[in-house]
Amino acid sequence: MSILSRARADIVAMKGYSSARSLYKKKPGMVFLDANECPYEPFIGAENLSRYPDQQPQELIDALCRLYDVSSRNFMIGRGADEMIDLLVRSFCEIGQDNIIICPPTFAMYEHSAILQGIEVKKSPLLSDFSLDSDVIKKTADENTKIIFVCSPNNPTGNVMDSEAIKDLCAYFKNKSLIVVDETYAEFAGVNLIPEIENHSNLVVVRTLSKSYAAAGLRCGVAIAQTDIIDLLLKILPPYPLPQPMVQTALQILKPKNLQRLTHKREELLRIKETYITFLESLDDVKKIFPSDANFILLHVKDADLFVEKCLCENIIVRNQSHQPGLKNCIRISIGAEEEMNRLIAALQGSDTQNVYDDRVASIKRKTKETAISVYINLDQVTPLRINTGVPFYDHMLEQIAKHGGFSLVLECEGDLDIEAHHTVEDCAIALGQALKQALDDKRGIGRYGSHELILPMDEAQAKVAIDLGGRFYLKFEGDFPDTYVGNTDNPLPVDMVEHVFRSFAENLQATLHISVLGENTHHMVEACFKGVGRALRYAIRIEGNDLPSTKGTL
């Protein structure tokens, strides 16, 4: 007896739809005149948008199978984990006859998908510690129970479910019910039931790129199960579910270098979580914080409605979970970036954060063939301060501008450093200038002038810097550096780029910038320039009132 005997008989008997792209394997030089597509792209620069994509693009299948260490025969891709849940309910449950079991408090989409299909929902509540109650699940099930949903780590409680209990359910319900384990947050917890697929014919694991891979807007989810289940699901998956831009972006995410970056980001997020749990525990409003293995935490607070309202007053959105069984006055909070969590803490402590966070903030994304850059600036905060360009000495120099300028800067760049540092160095300076200009907005109230002669010593070196944020670009740079490169790494900073950095920065900031530097040590001379620019900026961007610092009426 196979688990497919429990699937809908009409789906098992149904022949899957044969789309135009499923009939022939693509080969170089093929001319496709079979799908009524247009022969031209919708705009200049577009690629492959005029053609239907494959239902299951092989290149993406291969990349995701490498990620999850699974065979392609046990694997399918859809539009987020939500589509996987919906497909499972539709393929196994008969309307008005079958039922599913969920374990509240848990993710609402399981119940929602069932109700949409006219399927009964039976409930087996979690125990007081939010663990599975296997005995109650077994008692709740009947001959028409087709699917049991288990979320691990569970949303909204954040805890991992015992793997032995899940495997016991798989064995108990063999050839009777699917055990669907939603591992949406698994990467944060280090859990993985995918290897158990070969041991249990009724086990389905659902994963997604939405959470730990930071791609919620992409809508890419997968189902992993034995081949007969995957083949059944593919029958009812639409013929062209995956947009070509999504496929290309997912492939970019899954490149080894980016996966390594995301691993570091995940670790950083978990460190932020632990730090802010300590902050939140100290607040009078918070009675308890439940243990969490995910990128969110569940709080038991004195008054959930009041807690939400306090956050809303500062434009911060959190999730009230009081509607869930056993979660009265409980709030779920996603772990954000450090600056977002600082804003939450300030709001809960009663600080006025509106002006601090909403006025002089900028976020810039800049992408060329050579570089991809993300810049975040807050001119009225000093943290966070994180720079990663791939050129360590340059990172240190940009940090000097922000540190001595007295503002928060988060800058990341992925550039063609395998060729040389030129594009990375130049493009980061461009993006930084653009972000500062955006954050300054109409410049009302600023000092405008950094200094007519700010003198900054650095051991034997000395830099003189003056800046005017008057809206006109001009650079005067005087300096003769002894060395060609600075920085003892595989990616040093070319010294001939230093003047170019300030030129690109000033041009995009629309500022007049004068720099002169003297010295004997290249490292000291370069550092004096960057520190000097930071110090000049500190005075120029400082709020001194509400007037526009110009007789012309505009800057």
3-27+55-254 fold: Aspartate Aminotransferase; domain 2 (3.40.640)
Topology of domain 259-354 in CATH is Aspartate Aminotransferase, domain 1 (3.90.1150)
Q: What is the CA radius of gyration of the chain?
A: 29
pLDDT of 357 reads 44
Its CATH class, for the domain covering 359-541, is alpha beta
Contact 392, 493 (CB under 8 A): no
Would strands 408-415 and 120-123 be described as parallel, antiparallel, or unpaired? unpaired
Residue stretches of the chain with pLDDT short of 50 = 354-357, 452
Q: What is the pLDDT of residue 367?
A: 94
Q: What is the pLDDT of residue 228?
A: 97
So where are the chain's domains? 3-27+55-254, 259-354, 359-541
Cα-Cα-Cα-Cα torsion 318, 323, 324, 327, nearest 10 degrees, comes to 70
Under a CB-based contact definition with an 8 Å cutoff, are residues 342 and 305 in contact? no
Long-range interactions of 131-137: CB distance < 8 A, separation 24+: 131/159, 131/161, 131/162, 131/165, 132/103, 132/161, 132/162, 132/165, 132/166, 132/169, 133/103, 134/165, 134/168, 134/169, 137/101, 137/103, 137/169
Closest CA to 110 of 184, 17, 33, 213: 184
